[in-house]
Amino acid sequence: MAEEKAKKNDLRKILSEDVKEGIEKAKFLAKKKKEDAEAWIKKHPFKALGIAVGVGTLAGLLLGKRRR
């Protein structure tokens, strides 16, 4: 009984560490992607604006049809 409990605690600790590592990796990758996107926007401001307008228009059209 005590041996099973020890195994469960060890497994819980390992899984907890794996989850923490995964979260840290996800945070790092998200920060990197954000920085890359900001750099692209600074390099291509008019393309970024065009994309934003297009996405906004499309979203407005799709959401507007649902309300009618």
pLDDT (0 to 100) of residue 68: 55
**Percentage of the chain exceeding pLDDT 70:** 96
pLDDT (0 to 100) of residue 40: 97
Which regions in the chain score pLDDT beneath 70?
Answer: 66-68
pLDDT tens digits along 16-31: 999 999 999 999 999 9
Alpha carbons 4 and 7: distance in angstroms, whole number: 5
Nearest to 48 by CA among 64, 36, 65: 36
Q: What are the structure tokens assigned to 47, written together?
A: 């393309």
pLDDT (0 to 100) of residue 67: 62
**Secondary structure class of 68 (helix, strand, coil):** coil
Cβ neighbors of 41 (< 8 A, separation 6 or more) are 48
Give the helix/strand (H/E) hosting 55.
Answer: helix 45-67
Kindly report whether the global pTM for this prediction surpasses the value 0.75: no
pLDDT (0 to 100) of residue 24: 97
